[in-house]
């Protein structure tokens, strides 16, 4: 076969193939996919800064001796639950009891003298001035009795509120000087968070709701008080945040408080608009001529059930909700309003 004949056969074969291909029908375009959509919203959000805090009881006190004396009664054990008004420590102060007895005896004596002078005054055997002097003496004697009785009451140290004993400073038989600490008591019904707030952060109004993260649990706290003055050494202000009555927290627990630190503008989309491909986050956008456009995005957490979009979308765009696995780039969309 000559070269010319071979080239002629190749040309005929190619022509035949082209005719066969042109005779095949074109692949049908996929039908329009029915989709639900939502718009990308631009909203102002409060930015929060986490601050370390500590759970403390709202009621806590260090009970001290108001008179000197030896500890005579049993001292409650650590962790012991006590009721409000319960006697916790008894001090032996014999001189206080003697002082009360002396004051009462003096009052009784003045009462007898005053009664005698009043009787004499009725018969004209004494003067009204003598009666007035004795009346003044009686008021002084009654005040002395009241003072001694108050000192006597100080020998029994009672619980100012219901709680638990968290520390003991004395044992039975110890001598307690006036003003010496005896017990530390903490209430169990009301808890709050104490946090040092940098002076650079804003000061919300008291009563503002704040989020508290405690051991994987999120609690709804409320700002109870905040110091108006900053500590000159730490440049922070002490804030106290009340916790709910049934809060799952304990005294001394470490927590984080999400403190408001200004506002930012954020883009939000429903969470069901996002799909993942490996480590990539993506959404479908309704593009020109109602066709699907695939966008790679970067998210920054959640806000009220919606995702915060940091990059990849613009405000006002329309995203597809719950995109079907078969949805492809460029596919026509039947938007359902």
Backbone angles phi, psi at 93, to 5 degrees: -135, 85
Sign of CA dihedral 127, 130, 132, 134: negative
Query: Could you tell me if residue 8 is inside a domain?
Result: no
Residue 294 near residue 312, CB atoms below 8 Å: no
Residue 67 neighbours by CB under 8 Å, 6+ apart: 91, 93, 96, 151, 154, 155, 178
Same domain, 73 and 160: yes
Structure tokens at 307: 């995702």
The residue out of 160, 186, 212 marking a domain boundary is: 186
In the prediction, which pLDDT does 122 show? 87
- Tokens 């074109």 belong to residue: 26
In the prediction, which pLDDT does 197 show? 95
- Across the strands, what pairs with 196? 238
Q: Which residue range is the domain that position 315 belongs to? A: 33-45+265-336
DSSP 8-state secondary structure symbol assigned to residue 84:
T
Sign of CA dihedral 221, 225, 229, 232: negative
Same domain, 41 and 117: no
Structure tokens at 230: 């900053």
In the prediction, which pLDDT does 14 show? 54
The total of structural domains in the chain comes to 3
Residues counted in the chain: 337
The residue out of 186, 216, 231 marking a domain boundary is: 186
State the first-to-last Cα distance of the chain, in angstroms, to the nearest integer: 71
Same domain, 100 and 163: yes
Same domain, 195 and 181: no
Q: What is the pLDDT along the chain (337 residues), one digit of tens a residue?
A: 454 554 344 444 554 544 454 445 545 567 788 888 999 999 888 888 999 999 999 999 999 999 999 999 889 999 999 999 999 999 988 888 888 899 999 999 999 999 998 888 888 888 889 889 989 999 999 999 999 899 888 999 999 999 999 999 999 999 999 999 999 999 988 899 999 999 999 888 999 999 999 888 889 999 999 999 999 999 999 999 999 987 888 889 999 999 998 888 889 999 998 999 888 999 999 988 888 899 999 998 888 788 999 999 999 999 999 898 888 888 888 887 6
Give the CATH number for residue 68. Answer: 2.40.50.100
Residue 79, sorted as left (phi over 0), alpha (psi -120 to 50) or beta, turns out to be left
DSSP 250-284: -TT-EEEEEEEEEEEEEEEEEGGG-EEETTEEEEE
Same domain, 274 and 258: no
Residue 18, SS3 per DSSP: helix
Distances in Å between the Cα of 60 and the Cα atoms of 67, 122, 159, 206, 326 are: 22, 59, 11, 22, 63
Residue 217 neighbours by CB under 8 Å, 6+ apart: 248
Q: Strands 33-39, 333-336: parallel, antiparallel or unpaired by DSSP?
A: parallel
CA dist., res. 268 & res. 88, Å (int): 58
Query: Could you tell me if residue 314 is inside a domain?
Result: yes
How many other C-beta atoms can be found within 10 angstroms of the C-beta atom of residue 221?
Answer: 26
């Amino acid at each position: 076969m000559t070269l010319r004949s071979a080239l002629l056969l190749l040309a005929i074969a190619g022509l035949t193939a082209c005719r066969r291909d042109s005779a095949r029908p074109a692949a049908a375009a996929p039908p329009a996919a029915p989709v639900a959509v939502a718009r990308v919203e631009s909203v102002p959000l409060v930015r929060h800064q986490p601050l370390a805090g500590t759970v403390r009881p709202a009621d806590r006190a260090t009970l001290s001796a108001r008179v000197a004396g030896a500890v005579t009664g049993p001292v409650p054990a650590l962790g012991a639950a006590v009721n409000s008004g319960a006697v916790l420590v008894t001090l032996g102060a014999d001189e206080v009891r003697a002082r009360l007895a002396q004051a009462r005896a003096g009052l009784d004596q003045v009462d007898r003298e005053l009664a005698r002078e009043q009787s004499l005054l009725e018969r004209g055997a004494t003067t009204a001035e003598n009666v007035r002097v004795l009346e003044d003496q009686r008021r002084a004697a009654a005040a002395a009795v009241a003072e001694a009785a108050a000192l006597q009451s100080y020998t029994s140290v009672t619980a100012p509120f219901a709680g638990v004993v968290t520390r003991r400073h004395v044992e039975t038989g110890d001598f307690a000087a006036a003003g010496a600490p005896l017990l530390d008591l903490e209430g169990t019904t009301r808890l709050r968070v104490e946090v040092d707030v940098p002076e650079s952060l804003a000061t919300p109004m008291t009563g503002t709701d704040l989020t508290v993260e405690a051991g994987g649990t999120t609690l709804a706290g409320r700002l109870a008080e905040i110091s108006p003055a900053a500590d000159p050494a730490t440049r922070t202000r002490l804030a106290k945040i009340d916790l709910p009555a049934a809060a799952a927290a304990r005294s001394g627990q470490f927590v984080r408080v999400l403190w408001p630190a200004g506002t930012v503008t954020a883009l939000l989309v429903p969470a069901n608009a996002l799909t993942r491909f490996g480590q990539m986050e993506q959404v479908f956008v309704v593009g020109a001529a109602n066709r699907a456009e695939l966008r790679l995005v970067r998210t920054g957490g959640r806000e009220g059930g919606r995702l915060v979009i940091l990059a990849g979308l613009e405000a006002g765009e329309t995203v597809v909700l719950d995109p079907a696995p078969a949805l492809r780039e460029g596919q026509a969309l039947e938007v359902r309003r």
